[in-house]
Amino acid sequence: MDGTYHDLELAWKALRATRDLRVREVACVGAPRTLLCVEVGDHMLPAIALAAGIHGDEPAGPWALLQIVAEGGLDPRYTYRIWPCTNPTGFQAGTRESSDGVDLNRTFGRGGGSPEAKAILTANRDHAFALSIDLHEDVDAGGFYCYEYGGGELGRAAIRALDAAGLPVDPMAETFDLAGPLTDSACTRERGRIIADQALEAAAVGGFSYTMLLARRAARHALTLETPRQSPWELRLEMHTRAVAAAIAELSKASVKVTD
């Protein structure tokens, strides 16, 4: 389903009656709004950070996160910190920017350049994550693709899962050229996957994103998932849910290999 931010908020709070999770509201200092923060699992387990909705005109990510949790799709070997929608005013208005007219995904450097970024960075302080996944959409994409930081094969595992399900994966030719100022000198690209250096990318796009900041400071591995905004709703939800599950499964496999 697609719906308002209020609908999304109520749906998350309703899950408390059926799932073992904790939902709280984190204040955005200096702004009359809060962010939902959801915690799932035993905090003694390795942690994974999940987030969506940093751009309000990319609605599939927030609803996909809700679907994953509602359907019991999280690997119980991890604990999760989930930010269901990091730009509630933009989500409500259907705009990329927040109600302040700011692209929040460029405001995560230097302690946070927006009330939302400051709230997230403060709440995440002293937390370390085995993996961070941020769910996005791209209006120009012809299929799924991802940005990957920290090395590993998590992005490729997500692509394999989508291929197995017959879902479209972007070849990253035309889409890459339309995506913005990032160039081949600052990253490596292949079908469905961009491997970027956080510092070079931040300089190219004009600021640290949520994922880049976590990859730099708090997350061993980090992914930004992009689904094609022009594709049907259910297809986009399926892409996100399959990609998240595959990335976490690959992380678990890699962890087993290390301990062995």
pLDDT 10s digits, 78-125:
999 999 999 999 999 999 999 999 999 999 998 899 999 999 999 999
Q: Name the 3-class secondary structure at 103.
A: coil
Q: Which domain holds residue 68?
A: 5-259
Q: What is the pLDDT of residue 89?
A: 97
Nearest Cα neighbor of 211 from 142, 139, 138, 149 is: 149
Beta strands in the chain (DSSP E): 21-27, 34-40, 47-52, 79-83, 129-138, 145-149, 187-190, 193-196, 219-228
Q: What is the pLDDT of residue 258?
A: 46
Q: What is the pLDDT of residue 1?
A: 54
Number of domains in the chain: 1
pLDDT 10s digits, 182-227:
777 778 899 999 998 777 888 877 888 999 999 988 999 999 999 9
Q: What is the pLDDT of residue 179?
A: 64
Q: What is the mean pLDDT of the chain?
A: 92
| 212 φ/ψ angles, rounded to the nearest 5 degrees | -60, -40
Is residue 259 scored above 80 in pLDDT?
Answer: no
Q: Name the 3-class secondary structure at 9.
A: helix
DSSP label at 211?
A: H
Q: What is the pLDDT of residue 117?
A: 96
Is residue 177 scored above 90 in pLDDT?
Answer: no
User: 116 with 35: CB under 8 angstroms?
Assistant: yes
Q: What is the pLDDT of residue 196?
A: 82
pTM score: 0.94
Half-sphere exposure of 192 (CA within 13 A, CB side): 19
Tell me how many helices (H) and strands (E) the chain has.
9, 9
Structural element, H or E, at residue 66: helix 60-70
Domain with 59 in it: what CATH number? 3.40.630.10
| 117 φ/ψ angles, rounded to the nearest 5 degrees | -65, -40
Q: What is the pLDDT of residue 152?
A: 85
Between CA 55 and CA 208, with CA 195 as vertex, the angle to 5 degrees is 45
Is residue 260 scored above 50 in pLDDT?
Answer: no
